[in-house]
Amino acid sequence: MRDDRTRIGWYYWGMQEKTARSAIDTFISAFNASDDSYVTALLAQALTSDVVFWGPLGRSEGIAAVERFVLDIRRHPAGTGTMVRCSAVDMPDEWARYQWVFTTPDGGPRLTGTDIVHLRRSLIDQIIVFAGEVGPPTS
């Protein structure tokens, strides 16, 4: 009996992680859309309509707020960059985290970070963005 529960638990965890990875990768693809007109549709596939976004400029709510953020990143002064998930998706229960890197063309600015997301019914309903590296402890 114990082996069956373990197997079922691992199956559930694997399916949950796959769902999270799909939502996260769809979210990231909005940064890399071939045209700004595709951003909203991609975000709607990955996020709940009431998503809470904790970004570099504070807290905002709704897909429109996330869309403004994505479009601002896409219009970086150094040129349209590329956003890539550069780690596995680590998912304990309904929370997930992953690392990303954003690079502008021609060796322009590069930014890295870690996002923490919460999923509800297979969609991201909270995003917390940690941009940059965490430095050593200060004394």
Work out how many domains the chain is built from and give that number: 1
Q: What is the CATH number of the domain that holds 98?
A: 3.10.450.50
In a domain, 73, yes or no: yes
Residue-wise DSSP of 69-91:
HHHHHHT-TT---EEEE-SPPB-
Residue 136 maps to a domain:
no
d(CA 73, CA 80): 8
Angle of helix 63-74 versus helix 39-46 axis, rounded to 10? 130
User: Percentage of residues in the chain with pLDDT exceeding 90?
Assistant: 61
Can you give the residue range of the structural domain that contains 59? 2-131
pLDDT at 5 (0 to 100): 53
Q: Within a domain: residue 123?
A: yes
**pLDDT score of 42 more than 90:** yes
Give the separation between CA 9 and CA 75, rounded to whole angstroms. 43
Confidence of residue 106 (pLDDT cuts 50, 70, 90): confident
Enter the pTM of the model.
0.84
